[in-house]
């Protein structure tokens, strides 16, 4: 078993800097497109043997140091009662957005064993195949709430902020239900064999720090507090989170994921004992190889004093990324960080 990822999460020195990439299984891989050609995305997420195949696709091509479960942050949201669908080019849509007390009341706290057993089954199957650690994940409550309230992706988060500012009590009730679902989902994933857990807070960066502190962070803290006993590394990724970094350091995570807008060395100095994960601009994968290598070298150097560094992108891989560039990036990380 290649332990470099788990060692870096714990702040231990590994033989090289471990690397994995957000959205490493996905549409930039022709073999993923081939599977997707036969089945809609949401159905794919519910078929363990296909989720296993797709999770393993990047690991067959590249020397990644961790695998991430193939699923979606909206799976538990659907299990709560959201009428979820995905449309080509439009992203996720929820037909019954949750905008009033009745709608919040109707949502249920999901029960993983009954409502999403395919996730745990995928994890059990994957653990038999993998020789690198498997990362489980969920959406952070605020990010999940935006999808539930807006009914899909959003630009200005008008409905979310309307509820947050206008009916804070209702917003907190919604966050309570989501958080309980996330706790149960992540616990079930760890019990099925996930060896690290990441919370994706894709939209945290649209909040002012004062609102993040009141409406989002306490729920992240609750989730990590309730999962501490699992003894697996807990990773918090707040996208566009430079202005939230000092607060994020109080989340209870062992590892902070960083987007590319932040200098990794500055971030590492500010967060002290926590490990860092990140943070190459995903578009840097389009650079000529020598410039890509130079940039990866600078990033590794910037993170040299961090209490553990896991190399990653600052957000998910773009669909047009040439797989060959991903292979080169992984090789450069390993070569330049070998100790």
Residues binding ligand CP3 (CB under 6 A): 22-27, 36, 41, 68, 70, 72-74, 91-92, 137, 153, 200, 202, 239, 316
CA dist 227 and 220 (Å) reads 11
CA nearest neighbour of 79 among 124, 112, 49 = 112
Taking a C-beta distance cutoff of 8 angstroms, is the pair 165, 105 a contact?
Answer: no
315 by DSSP, 3-state: which?
coil
Residue of 28, 32, 65, 147 marked catalytic: 147
CB nearer to ligand CP3: pick between 204 and 336 = 204
Residue 166 CB burial class (10 angstroms; 0-12, 13-18, ≥19): exposed
Shortest reach from residue 189's CB to ligand CP3, in Å: 12
* 58 vs 308 by CB, closer to ligand CP3: 58
Which of 254, 140, 126, 129 has the alpha carbon at shortest distance from 192?
126
**Closest-approach residue to ligand CP3 (CB):** 202
Q: Which lies closer to ligand CP3 via its Cβ, residue 171 or residue 237?
A: 237
Identify whether the C-beta of residue 91 lies closer than 8 Å to the C-beta of residue 139.
no
Q: How far is it, in rounded angstroms, from Cα 162 to Cα 285?
A: 38
Distance CA 127, CA 194 (A): 8
Cα-to-chain-centroid distance, residue 121: 20
Least separation in angstroms between CB 274 and ligand CP3? 20
Indicate which residue of 65, 72, 201, 259 is catalytic. 72
Residue written as token pair 């330049």: 336
Q: Least distance in Å: CB of 77 to ligand CP3?
A: 9
Q: Which is nearer to ligand CP3, 40 or 168 (CB)?
A: 40
Task: Check if 32 is active-site.
Answer: no
Tell me the closest approach of the beta carbon of residue 60 to ligand CP3, in angstroms: 14
Give min distance, CB of 91 to ligand CP3, in A: 4
Residue tagged 């960083």 (tokens)? 258
Dihedral angle sign, alpha carbons of residues 83, 86, 87, 89: positive
Minimum distance from residue 10 beta carbon to ligand CP3 (Å): 22
Which of 10, 27, 173, 327 is catalytic? The answer is 27
Is 23 one of the catalytic residues? yes
On the question of a cis peptide bond just before residue 279, with omega within 30 degrees of 0, the verdict is yes
Task: For ligand CP3, give the closer residue by CB, 73 or 247.
Answer: 73
Active site residue 147: yes
Nearer of residues 36 and 173 to ligand CP3, judged by Cβ: 36
Q: Which residues are annotated as catalytic?
A: 23, 27, 36, 72, 147
């Amino acid at each position: 078993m290649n332990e470099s990822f788990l060692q870096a999460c714990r702040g231990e020195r590994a033989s090289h800097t471990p690397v994995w990439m957000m959205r490493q299984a996905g549409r930039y891989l022709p073999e993923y497109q081939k599977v997707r050609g036969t089945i809609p995305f949401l159905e794919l997420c519910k078929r363990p043997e296909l989720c296993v195949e797709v999770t393993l696709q990047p690991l067959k091509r590249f020397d990644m140091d961790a695998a991430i479960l193939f699923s979606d942050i909206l799976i538990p949201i659907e299990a709560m009662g959201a009428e979820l669908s995905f449309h080509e080019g439009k992203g996720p849509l929820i037909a019954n957005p949750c905008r009033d007390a009745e709608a919040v009341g109707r949502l249920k706290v999901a029960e993983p064993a009954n409502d999403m057993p395919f996730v745990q089954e995928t994890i059990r199957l994957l653990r038999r195949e993998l020789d690198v650690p498997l990362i489980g994940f969920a959406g952070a409550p605020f990010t999940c709430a935006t999808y539930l309230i807006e009914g899909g992706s959003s630009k200005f988060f008008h409905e979310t902020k309307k509820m947050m500012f206008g009916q804070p009590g209702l917003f907190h009730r919604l966050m309570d239900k989501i958080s309980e679902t996330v706790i149960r989902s992540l616990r079930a994933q760890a019990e099925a064999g996930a060896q690290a857990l990441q919370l994706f807070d894709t939209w945290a960066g649209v909040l002012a720090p004062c609102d993040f502190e009141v409406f989002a962070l306490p729920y992240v803290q609750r989730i990590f507090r309730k999962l501490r006993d699992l003894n697996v590394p807990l990773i918090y990724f707040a996208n566009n989170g430079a202005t939230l970094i000092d607060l994020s350091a109080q989340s209870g995570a062992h590892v902070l994921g960083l987007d590319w807008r932040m200098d990794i060395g500055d971030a590492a100095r500010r967060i002290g004992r926590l490990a860092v994960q990140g943070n190459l601009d995903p578009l840097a994968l389009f650079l000529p190889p020598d410039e890509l290598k130079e940039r990866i070298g600078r990033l590794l150097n910037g993170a040299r004093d961090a209490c553990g560094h896991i190399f990653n992108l600052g957000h998910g891989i773009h669909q047009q990324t040439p797989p060959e560039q991903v292979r080169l990036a992984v090789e450069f990380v390993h070569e330049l960080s070998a100790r």
